[in-house]
Amino acid sequence: MEVSKMEEGQAQIDIWNYVFGFTSMAVVKCAVDLGIPDVLENPMTLSELSSALGCSPSALYRIMRFLIHRGIFKKMTIDRTDQLESIFYARMPLSRLLVRNGANSMTDILLLESSLVMLAPWHRLSARALENGTSSFQAANGEELWHYAVENSAHCKLIDNVLACMARTTVPAILDNHLEILKESLLWGINFDLPHVVSVCPHYDGVEHVGGNMFVCVPRADAAFLMQVLHDHDEKCIDILKKCKEVIPTDTGKVIIMEAVVDEEEVDKYKHVHLYLDMIMMAHTEIRKERTRKEWEYVLNGAGFN
């Protein structure tokens, strides 16, 4: 197939994004570590910002130049009689998502995925792809992800923070789109998780914390809500869904699943995120994956649902 000069020229430009793709994550993590999004609650000059952060002005200028180019922050001109400088730095919608205690903060996900423990398996991704290959995470860190987390409390805390972060960012979207279904199904709730997880959960009115193992049994309820749970191989997921089906009312019970659907054909604005998530599953776990619609149909039908 012939390739035009324009396509070749674009390829020469695009390849740099793959060669240096790690740079954006590294510099954004640097900004979070320094606390730039937190400090920039109001526009600040370079000297004000460097003073507040205790940073070298020249290094900070170069970092901010990069982040402005990426749309994380912006420069603005403000004439103030009390200032020698007129160029100010300010937040953008992207940098508001990097405020540590912000309502929609994504910093916990960034800090987990940019940690050395989670970066190392990407260098072993080919080991996962080879026939009879081993888990990339195990090849890089000596043991599987969940065993590693149990033995390393700091990493376990990072994972817990990410799960809480994803709940904060996804549940409002669910409520916006499916509030009536949830109102009908979830008047009083059981928070069901592993015993060591629920043992530290705060009290909420209308919520009972129950420790257990969903591969053994699931508490009886009118509805089961599963979020970011069904990633294992088909038979395990089918087993979990069958256990849910056994404990909900036959005629009125509901199983509500919150998961990504990888759509290989249609254009979706989050398609790249779904594909990222699937590659993360491949790099960080032995068998987990994100599913296409057909793969979801297989699992749901296998558990006895239509």
Report, as residue numbers or ranges, the catalytic residues: 231
Of 86, 163, 148, 131, the residue nearest 284 (C-alpha)? 148
SS3 track for 205-263? CCEEEEECCCCCCCCCCCEEEEECCCCCCHHHHHHHHHHHHHHCCCCCCEEEEECCEEC
Chain-centre distance of CA 4, in angstroms?
38
Cβ neighbours around 193 below 10 Å, total = 18
Residues 20, 206: Cα–Cα separation, whole Å: 49
Buried b (16+ CB within 10 A) or exposed e, 150-170: eeeeebeebbeebbebbeeee
Residue 5: which residues within 8 A CB-CB, separation 6 or more? none
Cα torsion for 112, 117, 119, 125, to the nearest 10°?
-120
Task: Give whole-number Cα distances, 126 to 91, 129, 281, 285, 289, in Å.
Answer: 39, 5, 14, 13, 16
